[in-house]
């Protein structure tokens, strides 16, 4: 029998298990399953084959369990193996432990299935409208049974959803990662100044001074959006907005209608630029390139369909 200071794993001492713990005193599931197989088959060799180990390994595991419990469990003879009286009693207890473990495993599988059957994504507007559709289409090819819900909002709203456990994975466009979130860059984007063709800026022969852009009322996204954050930081401040809108589509429509200049993602205005419904206005001495990031709650790396979606964005 092992001493109180000798902590054992399935086949001998295991220094990682604290002496005196339940794991030290109770055989592991593999040993209990082996004992149940011996009781059912009446042969150590047949039991070893059933659980997928060699007969010497099975003998070693039974001896280790006997030392751990301090009683003989199996009598071995040329005619086979039979349980001792103590072994029969331990086998009855082992059966209940294994049944409880099977119930535990079934419950864990149900939890994984429930997790894998849905995916809640929160994304800032540009990513939600122009990048996520392609990513989600690719995810559907991999996981056709996963139901995906998409919550679109500004970058601040995405962070709130994640921190409130209302989303499994998020995507943001701002300069910084919101507090409480981990992130990885998945794409890059360029903000550009656009106007309707009839606006005076559309006919400029040289780049617009950054100071003039900062002093001009613009059609802007609301505070909290990644686009507004990047523009404000690049210019060191903005004039009071001409119009403040809560979606990229609304800002773009206003600019096309001639309401005034706007600053939008290059991703969002490709069609309008190609058809000349909008004109790009070069700006002098400022950089409006930004990183697009996947974000999740700090310390909780995405799993299941969220992990697969994240992988697709980085492919």
The pLDDT value recorded for residue 4 is 36
Range(s) of the domain holding residue 13: 8-114
The pLDDT value recorded for residue 21 is 76
Residues 198 and 233 in one domain: yes
Residues 136 and 179 in one domain: yes
CATH of residue 46's domain is 1.10.10.10
Residues 104 and 144 in one domain: no
CATH of residue 205's domain is 3.40.190.290
Q: Is residue 315 part of a domain?
A: no
> d(Cα 201, Cα 203) in Å, to the nearest integer?
5
Q: Which of 282, 291, 289 is nearest to 210 (CA)?
A: 282
Residues of the chain with pLDDT under 50: 1-15, 17
Q: Is residue 2 part of a domain?
A: no
How is residue 202 annotated by DSSP?
G
The pLDDT value recorded for residue 174 is 78
Residues 124 and 68 in one domain: no
Measured in degrees and rounded to the nearest 5, phi and psi for residue 76 equal: -105, 140
The pLDDT value recorded for residue 18 is 53
The pLDDT value recorded for residue 115 is 58
Residues 86 and 20 in one domain: yes
The pLDDT value recorded for residue 256 is 96
Tokens in use for 270? 């490709």
- End position of a domain, from candidates 114, 142, 158: 114
Measured in degrees and rounded to the nearest 5, phi and psi for residue 7 equal: -95, 125
Q: Is residue 213 part of a domain?
A: yes
Give the Cβ contact number of residue 213 at 10 Å.
23
Kind and range of the H or E element at 297?
Answer: strand 289-297
Reduce the DSSP state of residue 260 to 3 states and report it.
coil
Rounded to a whole number, what is the distance in angstroms from the first to the last CA of the chain?
A: 56
The pLDDT value recorded for residue 314 is 81
> d(Cα 266, Cα 260) in Å, to the nearest integer?
17
Using CA atoms, how far residue 78 sits from 43, 46, 88, in Å, is 10, 14, 20
Residues 201 and 77 in one domain: no
Q: Is residue 3 part of a domain?
A: no
- End position of a domain, from candidates 94, 114, 134: 114
- pTM to 2 decimals? 0.62
Q: Is residue 242 part of a domain?
A: yes
The total of structural domains in the chain comes to 2
Over the stretch 78-132, which tens digit does the pLDDT of each residue have?
A: 777 888 999 899 999 998 998 888 888 777 676 666 656 789 999 998 899 899 9
The pLDDT value recorded for residue 311 is 94
* Cβ neighbourhood burial of 243 (10 Å; 0-12, 13-18, 19+): middle
Residues 45 and 190 in one domain: no
> d(Cα 109, Cα 89) in Å, to the nearest integer?
31
- E-state strands within 139-217: 147-153, 169-172, 181-195, 208-209
- End position of a domain, from candidates 64, 95, 114: 114
Residues 140 and 263 in one domain: yes
- E-state strands within 78-202: 80-83, 118-124, 147-153, 169-172, 181-195
Residues 135 and 108 in one domain: no
Using CA atoms, how far residue 192 sits from 44, 252, 312, in Å, is 75, 12, 27
Residues 220 and 276 in one domain: yes
The pLDDT value recorded for residue 315 is 63
Residues 167 and 291 in one domain: yes
Residues 85 and 159 in one domain: no
């Amino acid at each position: 029998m092992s001493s109180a200071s000798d902590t054992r794993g399935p086949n001998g001492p295991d220094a990682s298990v604290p002496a005196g713990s339940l794991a030290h005193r109770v055989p592991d599931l593999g040993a209990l399953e082996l004992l149940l197989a011996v009781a059912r088959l009446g042969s150590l060799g047949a039991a070893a084959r059933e659980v997928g180990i060699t007969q010497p390994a099975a003998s070693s595991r039974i001896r280790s369990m006997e030392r751990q419990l301090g009683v003989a469990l199996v009598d071995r003879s040329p005619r086979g193996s039979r349980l001792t009286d103590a072994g029969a009693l331990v086998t009855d207890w082992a059966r209940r432990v294994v049944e409880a473990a099977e119930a535990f495993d079934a419950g864990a599988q149900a939890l994984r299935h429930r997790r894998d059957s849905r995916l809640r994504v929160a994304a800032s507007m540009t990513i939600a409208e122009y990048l996520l559709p392609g990513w989600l289409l690719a995810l559907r090819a991999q996981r056709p049974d996963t139901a995906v819900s998409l919550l679109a909002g500004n970058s601040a709203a995405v962070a709130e959803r994640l921190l409130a456990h209302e989303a499994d994975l998020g995507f943001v466009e701002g300069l910084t990662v919101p507090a409480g979130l981990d992130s990885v860059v998945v794409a890059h984007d360029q903000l550009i100044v656009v106007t309707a063709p009839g606006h005076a800026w559309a006919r400029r022969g040289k780049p617009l001074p950054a100071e003039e852009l900062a002093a001009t009322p613009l059609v802007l996204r609301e505070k909290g959006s990644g686009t507004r954050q990047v523009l404000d930081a690049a210019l060191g401040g903005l004039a009071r907005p001409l119009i403040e809108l809560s979606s990229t589509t609304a800002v773009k429509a206003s600019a096309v209608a001639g309401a005034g200049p706007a600053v939008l993602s290059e991703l969002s205005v490709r069609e309008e630029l190609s058809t000349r419904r909008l004109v790009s206005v070069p700006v002098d001495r400022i950089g409006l390139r930004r990183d697009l990031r996947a974000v999740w709650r700090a310390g909780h790396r995405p799993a299941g369909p969220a992990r697969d979606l994240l992988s697709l964005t980085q492919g």
